[in-house]
Amino acid sequence: MVVYRENILYSEEVVEVSYRSGCFEFNHVVNSVRCVRVFDRGCLGVASSSRLGFDKLYSIALKSTSNCRDRVEWFDRDYYSGSVSVGVDRGWDVLYDVVRSVVDYFSSMGVGCEVVGVYKKLRREHSVVSHSVEAVEDRVLYEVYMYSYTVFYGRPLSTGLLIGSNNPSRLARVFDEIGELYNILIGQARARQLNPVYTGRWHVVFTRDSAPTLYHELVHLLQSTSLKKLPIGYRIKEGLNIIENPFYPGPLQRVFDDELYPGWKRVLIEDGVVVDYLCTRTTIRDKEKPGNARGLFTRPIPLHYQLVVSRGDWGFDEMLFESRRSIVVGGVVEAHVYGGYIRIIPEVAWVAEKDKLQPVRVNEILIPLNKLNEVFIGFGKRLYSRYGFEKGFEVYEVAPETLVEARVMV
């Protein structure tokens, strides 16, 4: 007997208003996809199509469970039922004004740019046939990607930023950030190569985009499926609190996840101690609960939607004073967990010494996983947010400026 069967109808309307290569473009697409998920005899089967009906997809998904090699348990209760609307829909027209304003700003500074504004109107209709449960979510998202570039003495310089919101009025943040993008270009132009003799341990201040990025990578160690996950009870740093909060006023608010489990605030790290993991219906163990499933057309993975790190009581100047000499990181080119380290490649960094900030080029900053209980020093009063993508899913993080001890590679 099939334990669980769910029919999903996913519909989207996407409008792109962009400026590329000196001209404006407009693109519009509407599509829908049907999906059936089945759990039978310890196996999860998934089938989706834009053409096939639910009955045909059900037979395909059920057949796929007979070839399953990874048998798991399914948490078969607590399904959300009802309808919800997330976001403020003002249409796509607002994007043109935002894109035009950003282009005008960079043009006035003599800097080239590419700007893409995206309006997403999404609808998910879930029907858990085996449990007579139905849920509908309508969601609106606005995204603005800004990419700026120039050439300085024959050397190309570039930087970019993605901002996401479920309310077009909050896109005003774009105008707070475009000046910072210009400052990053200036920093890249003026940056000198840090002397290789300075390779080694530094105090590093993560600020702006790099602060949420640091915690994004840290939380990969708190996924229930992670091979390197931190053990429950592991103590990092007193005062550190990390919550996966679906009710935080960010762009990815939700009342249920992709497995229809009701949204709830999951405390992952409490006062510096690991207390929980991100989980799905197939990855929970012992007393854990689901609630962080991402993925409609594949087996869902445990991943955060909105990650909130509590602020501390340190000021930025206090961090610099305490360190005497430190590296300050703003934007990030790349970050990942690899080889026993959280590895962060800065877009540009600054050496803070004697009340001066000098831009420098740093190849990599390494934070050892086996010393996470030693490297964190202090958490700032000011919070920064970051909107981005992980494995194709939108994620949103809020985190304070953070002072750590790390290894700097030049």
Q: Please indicate whether residue 198 or residue 190 has the higher confidence score (pLDDT).
A: 190
DSSP, residue by residue, 319-386: HHHHHSEEEEE--EEEEEEETTEEEEEESSEEEEETTEEEEEE--EEEEEGGGHHHHEEEEEEEEEEE
Find the helix or strand (DSSP H, E) in which 211 lies.
helix 210-219
User: What is the mean pLDDT of the segment spanning 2-13?
Assistant: 96
One domain, residues 146 and 201: no
Pick from 137, 159, 188: which residue ends a domain? 188
Q: Is 394 in the same domain as 245?
A: yes
pTM above threshold 0.85: yes
Find all residues with CB under 8 Å of 89, minimum gap 6, and list them.
Answer: 121, 140
Q: Tell the residue number behind the tokens 């219906």, with chain if given.
A: 281
Mean pLDDT across 106-135: 95
Residue of 334 and 182 predicted with greater confidence? 334
Q: Which of 183-197, 302-316, 361-375 has the lowest mean pLDDT?
A: 183-197
Check: CB of residue 234 under 8 Å from CB of residue 273.
yes
pLDDT in tens, 209-252: 999 999 999 999 999 999 999 999 999 999 999 999 999 999 99
Asked if pLDDT for residue 356 goes beyond 90, the answer is: no
How many beta carbons lie within 10 A of that of residue 317, not counting itself? 10
Q: Are residues 161 and 286 in the same domain?
A: no
Q: Give the pLDDT confidence score for residue 14 in this predicted structure.
A: 98
Q: What would the pLDDT profile of 321-333 be if each residue is shown by its tens digit?
A: 888 889 999 889 9
Hey, how many other C-beta atoms are within 10 angstroms of the C-beta on 398?
21
The total number of structural domains in the chain stands at 2
Number of other residues whose CB lies within 10 A of the CB of residue 345: 15
Co-location of 131 and 197 in the same domain = no
Q: Are residues 157 and 22 in the same domain?
A: yes
pLDDT in tens, 307-316: 999 999 999 9
Q: What are phi and psi of 77, to 5 degrees?
A: -160, 175
Closest by CA to 6, choosing from 56, 46, 41, is 46
For residue 178, the model assigns a pLDDT of: 83
Of 158, 188, 218, which residue sits at a domain end?
188
Residue of 57, 1, 40 whose CA lies nearest to 296: 57
Range of the domain at 110: 4-188
What sign results for the dihedral spanned by CA atoms 107, 111, 114, 117?
A: negative
What whole-number distance in Å separates Cα of residue 140 and Cα of residue 407?
42
Residues 159 and 283 in one domain: no
pLDDT the model gives residue 214? 98
The encoded tokens of residue 137 equal: 């979510």
Q: Which CATH number is 140's domain given?
A: 3.30.2290.10
Tokens of 336: 């990942």
Residue with tokens 């990181």: 329
Q: What is the pLDDT of residues 372-404, one digit of tens each?
A: 999 999 999 999 999 999 999 999 999 999 999
67 and 94 inside one domain: yes
CB 146 within 8 A of CB 105: no
Least confident of 170-184, 255-269, 317-331: 170-184
Q: pLDDT tens-digit profile of 43-89?
A: 999 999 999 999 999 999 999 998 888 889 999 999 999 999 999 99
pLDDT grade for 177, boundaries at 50, 70 and 90: confident
Same domain membership, residue 225 and residue 251: yes
What CA–CA distance (Å, rounded) separates 81 from 66? 30
In the predicted model, is pLDDT for residue 153 greater than 80?
Answer: no
pLDDT value at position 1?
A: 67
Q: Do residue 146 and residue 271 come from a single domain?
A: no
Q: Kindly state whether residues 132 and 206 are assigned to the same domain.
A: no
pLDDT the model gives residue 151: 86
Cβ–Cβ < 8 Å for 148, 181: yes
DSSP secondary structure code for residue 278 in this structure:
B
Q: Are residues 139 and 197 in the same domain?
A: no
Q: How do beta strands 82-86 and 133-152 pair? A: parallel
Predicted confidence at residue 353, as pLDDT, reads 83
- State which amino acid sits at residue 31: N
Cα dihedral 130, 278, 252, 341 sign:
negative
- State both tokens at 263: 């949204």
One-letter amino acid of 247: F
Contacts of 275 (CB under 8 A, 6+ apart): 232, 267, 268, 269
**pLDDT exceeds cutoff 90 at 342:** yes
Q: What angle do CA 197, 199, 204 make, to 5 degrees?
A: 130
Euclidean distance between CA atoms 335 and 348, whole angstroms: 14
* Helix/strand/coil for 167: coil
Q: What is the pLDDT of residue 170?
A: 86
Closest CA to 385 of 182, 216, 184: 216
Query: Which of 153, 188, 223 is the last residue before a domain boundary?
Result: 188
Distance from the Cα of residue 372 to its chain's centroid: 21
* One domain for residues 183 and 203: no
Give the pairing type, strands 192-193 and 356-361.
Answer: parallel
Looking at per-residue pLDDT, the higher value among 191 and 242 belongs to 242
8 A C-beta contact, residue 54 and residue 36 = yes
